[in-house]
A and B are shown apart, each in its own frame.
Chain A
């Protein structure tokens, strides 16, 4: 499914200008800080912003085509078959949970999804007869999600549905989203200001800043691109006051799982390359639970500040992960240096090329860089503890 956006929305002094085609498969993330225009983008796609100039196409359907404020085409939100889960759930207070769900199901023409199946999937059976004000924040969002799905949209928009929830509720809702995506094959556009959440569930990422698209691509690639961003609005904040909004420089990975628990409290991922086919990455053991680890691969990330560099192989160290890699870039910012290193250089392997290259990002001080005399092209050992390999969901 293709969503082609080419429009401007003027709320002086804020201006949203989007010119981008998104190929919607799986979950596409929309990242940006508050005021970047990500919610407005969703509202425009949903049809709740009518004053835009330009056009939006969903596949071949023209959702809106306005030029110079003269509407040529405008499909009303209720006729777009697009679902939207709001940040503040917006459940109807005059009916109970069941009534909210029925509201959606009654107005849906195709009836492809089964009412009871969705209730089971979203684990709402025990809440059906509760009043809306009796629900917790996480339960409300689960109802809102189920309600949106029961309207059987072609595309589901999620506008920071997790931002008001605690971490536990966030994780269970994210898993639910992944599960629903897989079962119903429903394309989703998921807006969040938390890169950790997006890293776990999105395949593609659209990055907005101050009303403009500053990047669109695969999730890992985009996160790595953000490591270098000099954008003032997105910049890596120096103060940690807004821990959630703080954008950490990191290496984002999807790796095949070898073992969930090797008997020593560690899980093992495989990072094979041309040089070493059996390179393993250790991380704290993953708890096996029902739906999560049918997964063959694990999404994880390593903060650039959690990796250190050694010139000799750190054989006698408690740090379990060490990789041989070649420095490809050095970027200094203040008294810190962001080192980019490539693991598994294909050119070195010779003969048959197997496996993959993997880029890593390391944050060290200028002092260390000078001590070790690090240069581009130099081969070094990267080391990081098992605990530095993080995953948000498991």
Chain B
């Protein structure tokens, strides 16, 4: 019998990994689009993307809960397509996390794409490189550090999520019971010893992850110094 806390850890890692992959896949084109966009609607889209940074997670969770319920269209469509209810499922907390962690992935990428600008891309096209070729062989290697930052921040932020998951996921072991919720359970049950263990693990894990990001980003700053 697997310990409930280990199960929560597995659920957390699964959710965070999936969320990060989805965010990189949809966030990269969105960030690119935003970086190149010149329309005046750009600020509106940017504001929407940044909204989860300031919005109380419970607000987002509340609206998602309503949207995911079988009474409303998104929930209905999901139920027709998969035969399962969307609210209080693993899929629901992944969708919630994608929305909630979106600014953490899109913002660093957008900034990197804006900073890269057109000069190197124009140089690439003058050497015969098409659009995809330019993206994979110029943009991607030049902004590698920002991709690592974006992925790590997205992952770490998803691991640390609480409010949204509580609202739309509930507390189903092996499905929606993640570490932050397990910790909350221990505290509610006055099991401070278990709570301490989980809290210290989350703290240490986040610390190590952030340290790794800064470590990985260091060589590029060295190059930048060399150029000055």
Same complex origin of A and B: yes
A213 within 8 A of B: no
| Interface stretch of the complex, out of B118-126, B177-185, B210-218 | B118-126
B137 within 8 A of A: yes
Residues of the B chain whose Cβ atoms lie less than 8 Å from the Cβ of A103: 124, 127, 129, 137
A57 within 8 A of B: no
B-contact 0/1 string along A137-165, CB 8 Å cutoff? 00000000001100100000000000000
Q: How far apart are the CA atoms of A182 and B223 in the complex, in Å?
A: 38
For chain A, residues 316 to 353, give those with C-beta under 8 angstroms from any C-beta of chain B: none
Query: Cβ of B141 and Cβ of A94 under 8 Å apart?
Result: yes
Residues of the A chain whose Cβ atoms lie less than 8 Å from the Cβ of B124: 78, 92, 103
For chain A, residues 82 to 108, give those with C-beta under 8 angstroms from any C-beta of chain B: 82-84, 86, 88, 90-95, 103-104, 107-108
For chain B, residues 19 to 51, give those with C-beta under 8 angstroms from any C-beta of chain A: none
Task: Select one of A48, A95, A107 contacting B128, CB under 8 A.
Answer: A107
Query: Cβ of B142 and Cβ of A94 under 8 Å apart?
Result: yes
Residues of the B chain whose Cβ atoms lie less than 8 Å from the Cβ of A217: none
Q: How far apart are the CA atoms of A359 and B97 in the complex, in Å?
A: 80
A256 within 8 A of B: no
B130 within 8 A of A: yes
Query: Cβ of B126 and Cβ of A107 under 8 Å apart?
Result: no
Residues of the A chain whose Cβ atoms lie less than 8 Å from the Cβ of B223: 93, 131, 133
**Number of residues on chain B facing chain A (CB within 8 A):** 20
Query: Cβ of B128 and Cβ of A92 under 8 Å apart?
Result: no
A77 within 8 A of B: yes
Query: Cβ of B123 and Cβ of A133 under 8 Å apart?
Result: no
**Number of residues on chain A facing chain B (CB within 8 A):** 29
B227 within 8 A of A: yes
Q: How far apart are the CA atoms of A104 and B124 in the complex, in Å?
A: 8
Q: How far apart are the CA atoms of A81 and B127 in the complex, in Å?
A: 8
- A151-B126 CB under 8 A given contacts A90-B120, A92-B120, A93-B223: yes
Query: Cβ of B127 and Cβ of A107 under 8 Å apart?
Result: yes
Measured CB to CB, the closest approach of chain A to B69, in angstroms, equals 48
Task: Select one of A84, A92, A93 contacting B126, CB under 8 A.
Answer: A84
Query: Cβ of A78 and Cβ of B141 under 8 Å apart?
Result: no
Query: Cβ of A133 and Cβ of B127 under 8 Å apart?
Result: no
For chain A, residues 175 to 220, give those with C-beta under 8 angstroms from any C-beta of chain B: none
Residues of the B chain whose Cβ atoms lie less than 8 Å from the Cβ of A84: 122-123, 126
Task: Select one of A90, A95, A104, A131 contacting B119, CB under 8 A.
Answer: A90
Measured CB to CB, the closest approach of chain B to A372, in angstroms, equals 56
Residues of the B chain whose Cβ atoms lie less than 8 Å from the Cβ of A83: 126-127
- A108-B128 CB under 8 A given contacts A48-B122, A86-B123: yes
Residues of the B chain whose Cβ atoms lie less than 8 Å from the Cβ of A94: 138, 141-142, 144
Q: How far apart are the CA atoms of A84 and B127 in the complex, in Å?
A: 8
17 additional A-B residue pairs with CB within 8 Å, beyond A77-B122, A90-B119, A103-B129:
A48-B125, A79-B128, A81-B128, A84-B122, A84-B123, A90-B120, A92-B123, A92-B124, A92-B142, A95-B141, A103-B124, A103-B137, A107-B128, A108-B128, A133-B223, A134-B226, A151-B126
Residues of B in contact with A (beta carbons under 8 Å apart)? 119-120, 122-130, 133, 137-138, 141-142, 144, 223, 226-227
Q: Which 6 A-B residue pairings sit nearest by Cβ, starting from the closest?
A: A90-B123, A107-B128, A94-B141, A77-B125, A133-B227, A84-B126
